[in-house]
């Protein structure tokens, strides 16, 4: 494990180690997106972790275009660090992590999905609940033991004015639907922590406050 | 199995895996556990160049061991993973080869 004070400042801030993104940083990936992924960088295109991070960053950027950072005097001011925390979550979640076994009738088959891929599809559940952004997700339990109960914990930033219990229930259902469709995991619980509230500007819609 | 035969089999398996519905990307096996990667082949391309195989073919005590890491775009990663395994198993069987273990890992699900 690399000591924290040996890391470059941008990695210390994000709590990352260089290997998390196959040697790349979230800033490099952001620049790569800015350049429309040209020229193609084989070390980024060939890294599952970078691909997972790019996928999440594209969604965040699309939503960011709708995020209001002005005319919100009547609403709670968003924490300036919230995007940083989301990016931190994206980068940390992109790590491959553990191999989660997938069933097959042939006992000699060794099939699995990486923990990073599962975190990526959990994070994508944010697209099912408008205005919700997942900051980070964690899988707790023995992921390598088929059938073992697993708990999913998600940090989320949600839309201002949203009914929080209702939003949490929709997000929980969206996550369960994706995890059940793609994996053989036994999900025991999905814990959602709302850590931020933000505002969204929809086309043609007036500020609601 | 000679190096040339292993390379030919790996090349054939790369093309085979990329034809499985739902598979979008073939990653260098081992990258899913953090190794720095340099090559990727998408389903839009046919195969990597000789000597730079993304599918690993080795020998185990019982037969041919195959290791594959994929990215997918489908409704079920588990089903695609099983389909890749079965396609490889069928291919080995068709060549009269004994499977010494087929490892398939989904490293990315396109959302």
Minimal CA–CA distance to A175: which of A187, A184, A165, A164?
A187
Tell me the backbone φ, ψ of residue B64, rounded to 5 degrees. Answer: -85, 125
Distance from CA of A209 to the nearest CA of B (A): 33
Write down the mean pLDDT value for chain A. Answer: 77
User: What is the pTM (predicted TM-score) of this model?
Assistant: 0.75
B103 chain-A contacts, CB cut-off 8 A? 110-112
ipTM of the complex: 0.84
For residues A166-189, average pLDDT = 95
Between these two residues, A6 and A179, which has the higher pLDDT value? A179
pLDDT per residue of chain B (111 residues) written in tens, 0 to 9: 677 788 899 999 999 999 999 999 998 875 443 333 334 444 444 445 455 788 999 888 778 899 999 999 999 999 999 999 999 999 999 999 998 899 999 998 987
For residues A137-152, average pLDDT = 92
B81 chain-A contacts, CB cut-off 8 A? 102, 111-113
List the strands of the sheet with A186-198, edge to edge.
A133-140, A149-159, A186-198
Distance from CA of A70 to the nearest CA of B (A): 31
For residues A146-166, average pLDDT = 88
Please provide the size of chain B in residues.
111
Percent of chain A topping pLDDT 90: 29
Q: Does B66 touch chain A (CB under 8 A)?
A: no
Report the run of H or E that residue B15 belongs to, with start and end. Answer: helix B3-19
Q: Give chain A as a DSSP string.
A: ---GGGS-HHHHHHT--GGGGTT--HHHHHHHHHTTT-S--HHHHT-HHHHHHHHHHHHHHHHHTTB--SS-TTSPPPPTTHHHHHHHHHHHHTS--PEEEE--SSTTEEEEEEHHHHHHHHHGGGGGSTT-EEEEEEEES-TTSTT-EEEEEEEEEEETT--HHHHHHHHHHHHHHHHHHH---EEEEEEEEEEEEE-B--TT-----
Test B37 with A43 for CB contact under 8 angstroms.
Answer: yes
Test A46 with B89 for CB contact under 8 angstroms.
Answer: no
Distance CA B41, CA B22 (A): 14
Count of C-beta atoms within a 10 Å radius of residue B65: 17
Question: Token pair of A133, please?
Answer: 């952004």
- b/e code A185-206 from CB counts within 10 Å (16+ = b): bebeebebebebbbbbbeeeee
Instruction: Choose from B37, B52, B97 for mutation: most chain A CBs within 10 A.
Output: B37
Between these two residues, B39 and A44, which has the higher pLDDT value? A44
pLDDT of A199 > 80? The answer is: no
Helices (H), B20-109: 77-94
| pLDDT score at B20 | 97
Distance CA B84, CA A109 (A): 11
Test A102 with B77 for CB contact under 8 angstroms.
Answer: yes
Q: Does B45 touch chain A (CB under 8 A)?
A: no
Peptide bond into A39 cis (omega under 30): yes
Q: What is the pLDDT of residues A47-81, one digit of tens each?
A: 888 888 888 888 777 766 655 443 444 455 445 56
Q: What is the pLDDT of residues A87-122, one digit of tens each?
A: 766 776 667 788 999 999 988 899 999 998 999 899
CB B110 within 8 A of CB B73: yes
B44 chain-A contacts, CB cut-off 8 A? none
Please provide the size of chain A in residues.
209
Report DSSP state, residue B65.
E
| pLDDT score at A93 | 67
| pLDDT score at B75 | 93
Distance CA B49, CA B28 (A): 13
CA-CA-CA-CA dihedral for B14, B18, B20, B26, to nearest 10:
90
CB B21 within 8 A of CB B34: no
Listed range (A151-155, A159-163, B95-99) with the worst mean pLDDT: A159-163
| pLDDT score at A19 | 56
A181 chain-B contacts, CB cut-off 8 A? 75-76
Identify the band that residue A7 occupies on the pLDDT scale cut at 50, 70 and 90: very low
């Amino acid at each position: 494990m690399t000591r924290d004070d040996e890391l470059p400042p941008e990695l210390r801030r994000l709590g990352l180690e260089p290997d998390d993104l196959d040697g790349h940083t979230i800033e490099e990936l952001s620049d790569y997106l800015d350049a429309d992924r040209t020229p193609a960088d084989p070390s980024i295109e060939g890294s599952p972790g970078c691909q997972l991070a790019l996928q999440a960053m594209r969604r965040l950027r699309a939503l960011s275009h709708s995020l209001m950072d002005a005319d919100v005097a009547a609403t709670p001011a968003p924490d300036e660090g919230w995007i940083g925390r989301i990016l931190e979550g994206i980068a940390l979640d992109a790590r491959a992590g553990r191999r989660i076994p997938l069933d097959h009738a042939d006992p000699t088959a060794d099939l699995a999905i990486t923990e990073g891929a599962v975190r990526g599809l959990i994070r994508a559940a944010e697209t099912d609940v408008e205005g919700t952004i997942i900051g980070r997700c964690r899988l707790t339990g023995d992921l390598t033991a088929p059938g073992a109960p697993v708990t999913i914990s998600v940090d989320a930033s949600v839309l201002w004015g949203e009914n929080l219990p209702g939003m949490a229930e929709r997000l929980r259902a969206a996550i369960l639907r994706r995890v059940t469709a793609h994996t053989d995991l036994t999900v025991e619980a999905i814990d959602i922590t709302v850590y931020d509230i933000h505002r969204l500007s929809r086309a043609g819609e007036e500020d609601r406050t | 199995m000679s190096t040339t035969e292993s390379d030919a089999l790996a090349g054939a398996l790369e093309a085979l895996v990329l034809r499985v519905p739902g598979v979008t990307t073939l990653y260098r096996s081992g990258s899913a556990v953090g190794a720095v990667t340099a090559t990727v082949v998408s389903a839009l391309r046919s195969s990597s160049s000789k000597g730079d195989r993304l599918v690993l073919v080795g020998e185990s005590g019982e037969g041919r061991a195959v290791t594959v890491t994929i990215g997918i775009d489908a409704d079920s990663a588990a089903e695609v993973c099983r389909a890749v395994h079965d396609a490889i198993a069928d291919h080995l069987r068709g060549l009269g080869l004994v499977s010494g273990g087929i490892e398939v890992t989904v490293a990315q699900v396109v959302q």
